[in-house]
Amino acid sequence: MSPRGRRPGGASTREEILEAARAAFAANGFDRTSLRGIARAAGVDPALVHHYFDGKEALFEEVVGLPHGIDELITTAVSGPREQAGERIVATFISVWDSPQGRERFQALVRSAATHADAAHLLRDFVSRTVLARIAAALAEGDEGGRPPSDLAIAAAGAQLVGLAMLRYIIEVPAMAQADPAEVVATVAPTVQRLLVG
Amino acid sequence: MSPRGRRPGGASTREEILEAARAAFAANGFDRTSLRGIARAAGVDPALVHHYFDGKEALFEEVVGLPHGIDELITTAVSGPREQAGERIVATFISVWDSPQGRERFQALVRSAATHADAAHLLRDFVSRTVLARIAAALAEGDEGGRPPSDLAIAAAGAQLVGLAMLRYIIEVPAMAQADPAEVVATVAPTVQRLLVG
């Protein structure tokens, strides 16, 4: 039973945990936020947080509005032969957002990042901490004499992907919004490849 | 004197013209919107529209939230030696948005595009009609045997720029937000160059 006497299964409990998590992540960033602290702020038992959310990463993804398991998708996309890293990353990125639900999710992400500084901070934390760091680590690992990309080069590759989504899902510029995923990959992958692998 | 009896100099007249223009551009697109029709919808004399706004282009830029004279900036950036087209375009783009006012303007643009379908349509109209068409025309003109870029390649170059601004001004990813303009140009210009010139 929750300290406030609500039933554990109530929809509002889950909402309150999400609300507390949003505030905690925004105030303290991902690393300095604990599930125990979120439970305390929401006035629920920590076990309830675990009941609703599969760990801190999953809770963070839900707060930011990212698709579930995006973490593993990133890992898969950056692993494998370096020669096709650009292609894999662009194809994975499009597969994540290229559905009615994905499109809505992206629109919600941009809307909140553009209207709430907190949401923009969360997204920055995620992009820097998870996406860019993971890409850098994967490329450093598979490195055989090549120079690892600079943080700016990695950010520029991320910018190419974010911009692709802006034109495809938000502004809906016809050439980008109506193109086949394979065409988009063929056009954009060389940029990501150059920036990340050289 | 305006048909509704307000003084021509009143701030609200200008606002009403802008409101009517926003509705007309959103409903009919740029090409099928006339200053005369906007004046009629706002209930003012067409001369008043000319008094406040320097033509349809300027009115459109104000409605969409674009900096004044962006049209000429684009023309200047795409003219000149093809070998430095990428550098000129990226440097011009950063110079437009890289100020406190520019940053706010970009944030407002993204906010409205993400929250109002009308604003997204306006922006699409501008990007397709003005930016992409002008780039394509300038490159076709200076062409000496090279193949003109596809609409998708031009859109991908635009996506790289929009994404740059998203990471620099909205999400504020440190590597992109804190980099010198010259560093950003050096990192991103080869992408724009490859996509537009080949």
Q: In the prediction, which pLDDT does A65 show? A: 79
Q: Inter-chain contact B174–A128, Cβ cutoff 8 Å?
A: yes
Q: Which pTM was predicted?
A: 0.82
How far apart are the C-alpha atoms of A58 and A107, rounded to whole Å? 20
Contact between A64 and A109 (Cβ < 8 Å): yes
Q: Does the beta carbon of A156 lie under 8 angstroms from any beta carbon of chain B?
A: yes
What residues contact residue A145 under an 8 Å CB cut-off, 6+ apart? none
CA–CA gap between residue A58 and residue A67 (Å, rounded): 9
Question: Does residue B115 belong to the interface with chain A, where contact is any CB pair within 8 Å?
Answer: yes
Q: What is the DSSP string of A3-68?
A: TT---TT-HHHHHHHHHHHHHHHHHHTTTT--HHHHHHHHTS-HHHHHHHSSSHHHHHHHHHTPPT
**Candidates A162, A173, A194; nearest CB to B155:** A173
Per-residue pLDDT tens, chain A, 198 aa: give them: 444 444 455 568 999 999 999 888 878 878 889 999 999 999 999 999 999 999 888 898 888 877 777 778 888 888 888 889 999 999 999 998 998 888 888 888 888 888 888 788 888 887 877 787 888 787 777 656 567 889 999 999 999 999 999 999 999 999 999 999 999 999 999 999 999 988
What pLDDT score does A133 carry? 80
Number of other CB atoms surrounding residue B1 within 10 Å: 10
Question: Does A178 reach chain B within 8 Å, measured CB to CB?
Answer: no
Contact A152 B113 (CB under 8 A): no
- For residues A137 and A135, what is the distance between their CA atoms, to the nearest angstrom? 5
Please tell me which of the candidates B113, B156, B160 has its beta carbon nearest to residue A159: B160
Closest residue to A159, CB basis, from B110, B120, B176: B176
Closest-CA distance, A111 to chain B, in angstroms, reads 5
What span, in angstroms and rounded, lies between the C-alpha atoms of A112 and A106?
10
Half-sphere exposure of B166 (CA within 13 A, CB side): 33
Q: Consecutive 10-residue runs of chain B (198 residues): their mean pLDDT?
A: 49 89 83 92 95 90 80 84 91 91 86 82 80 79 70 94 94 95 98 92
